[in-house]
């Protein structure tokens, strides 16, 4: 229950920080913010401070900022509709920028305090506390039958009077090979828990499975001094952004080729499940996953499609090129078509994720 509450709180915080980005840039541009709300109306309570109403609302789905002149033209100096195009674009992109800043801050924090990374090759700079983790578990293998899972770290392997506390993959492989046909007592760390399992080391095994049926990965704790941690945060955010952009590029390419597959799409329910699941592997994995979700949201909201921030920016750019706004009727029709398509897709993926819950 606690993990689900934390997942829920994380989603609300991400939504609130997204809207805070719009809020801060709107204020900087001199636009009147009529309301900043957490959740959606009806209101639980509200308080007006200055020109802005700050509210908490009953429907716990995201957050919102209501700007003067955003929905309809208002002829005042503080109206969003009377702002120059560059201000409108900056305010609209404020939420997207906030997602990237969230990712940079989280990755910078993890780089400073230490995050567990995969050790590849001889480069061991800034690495300590080496551990061997389980990357994957083969179907119907002794490891699966004993309850070992991907993400588990192998703390200790014991048989009779022999004990191994491994820091390298080769140590585990050699130890198991010397005890084929015997039952090993393996102590694993799963999140903050230490769990003991008994696993049979098969004398013969299917190809590419090994005696117990796991693939292993060596990891180390990586730390950077404070003056390098921010740069590492920026680098990891950039790498994550490139990865997500490539995913969307591949997805749209397959869509236009008639090969679209919705298996890689996840609804808010699916994201909620994954955030809750990530907590099982510890704080650093949880925070890393939140950072990656923020990057995903930043890229998605940057797409030049209606109903997201990138779509609004596209309309403003067209307005700048034409030197006049797109006719309201045309804009509404484009938004309607997009709403039907995206809304239908979101409903379909949500139903699929709900079915998968059971």
pLDDT, tens digit (0-9, with 9 covering 90-100), for 255-312: 677 666 656 666 667 777 778 777 776 788 889 999 999 999 999 999 988 889 999 9
- List helix spans (H) across 29-131: 85-113
Please give the share of the chain, as a percent, with pLDDT higher than 90. 58
Picking from 82-96, 137-151, 338-352, which range would have the lowest pLDDT averaged per residue? 338-352
Decide: helix, strand or coil at residue 69. coil
Query: What is the mean pLDDT of the segment spanning 70-79?
Result: 90
| Residues 36 and 65: beta-carbon distance below 8 Å | yes
Q: What is the pLDDT of residue 262?
A: 59
Q: What is the pLDDT of residue 212?
A: 95
Domain residue ranges in the chain: 2-29+83-113+226-357, 117-222
Query: What is the mean pLDDT of the segment spanning 96-119?
Result: 92
Please give the backbone phi and psi of residue 43, each rounded to the nearest 5 degrees, phi first: -75, 145
| Residues 88 and 272: beta-carbon distance below 8 Å | no
The separation between CA 274 and the C-alpha centre of its own chain, rounded to angstroms, equals 9
Is residue 341 reached through a cis peptide bond, with omega within 30 degrees of 0 on the bond before it?
A: no
Tens digit of each residue's pLDDT (9 = 90 or more) over 44-74: 999 999 999 999 999 887 899 999 999 888 8
Q: Which tokens hold the place of 140?
A: 């119907």
pTM over 0.75: yes
The torsion angle over the Cα atoms of residues 97, 103, 104 and 105, rounded to 10 degrees, is 110
Q: What is the pLDDT of residue 267?
A: 61
Of 301, 261, 252, 353, the closest CA to residue 100 belongs to 301
Residue with tokens 């719009």: 22
117-222 classified as CATH 2.30.42.10: yes
């Amino acid at each position: 229950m606690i993990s689900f509450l934390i997942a829920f709180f994380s989603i609300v915080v991400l939504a609130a920080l997204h809207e805070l980005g719009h809020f801060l840039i709107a204020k900087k541009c001199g636009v009147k913010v009529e309301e900043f709300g957490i959740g959606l109306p009806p209101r639980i309570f509200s308080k007006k401070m200055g020109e802005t109403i700050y509210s908490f609302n009953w429907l716990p789905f995201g957050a919102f900022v209501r700007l003067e002149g955003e929905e309809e033209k208002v002829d005042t100096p503080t109206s969003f509709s009377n702002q120059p195009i560059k201000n409108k674009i900056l305010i609209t992109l404020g939420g997207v920028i906030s997602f990237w800043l969230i990712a940079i801050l989280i990755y910078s924090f993890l780089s400073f305090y230490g995050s567990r990374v995969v050790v590849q090759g001889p480069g061991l700079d800034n690495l300590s506390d080496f551990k061997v983790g389980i990357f994957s578990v083969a179907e119907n293998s002794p490891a699966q039958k004993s309850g070992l899972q991907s993400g588990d770290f192998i703390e200790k392997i014991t048989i009779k009077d022999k004990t191994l506390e491994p820091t390298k993959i080769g140590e585990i492989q050699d130890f198991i090979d010397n005890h084929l046909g015997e039952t090993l007592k393996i102590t694993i760390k799963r999140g903050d828990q230490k769990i003991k399992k008994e696993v049979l080391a098969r004398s013969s095994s299917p190809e590419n499975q090994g005696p117990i049926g796991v693939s292993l990965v060596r990891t180390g704790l990586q730390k950077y001094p404070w003056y390098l941690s921010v740069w590492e945060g920026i680098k990891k955010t950039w790498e994550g952004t490139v990865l997500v952009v490539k995913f969307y590029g591949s997805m749209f390419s397959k869509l236009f080729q008639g090969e679209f597959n919705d298996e890689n799409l996840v609804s808010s329910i699916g994201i909620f499940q994954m955030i809750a699941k990530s907590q099982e592997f510890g704080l650093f994995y949880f925070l890393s996953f939140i950072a990656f979700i923020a990057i995903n949201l930043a890229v998605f909201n940057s797409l030049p499609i209606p109903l997201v921030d990138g779509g609004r920016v596209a309309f403003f750019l067209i307005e700048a090129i034409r030197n006049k706004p797109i006719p309201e009727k045309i804009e509404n029709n484009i938004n309607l078509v997009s709403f039907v398509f995206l809304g239908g897709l979101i409903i379909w993926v949500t139903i699929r994720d709900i079915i998968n819950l059971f």
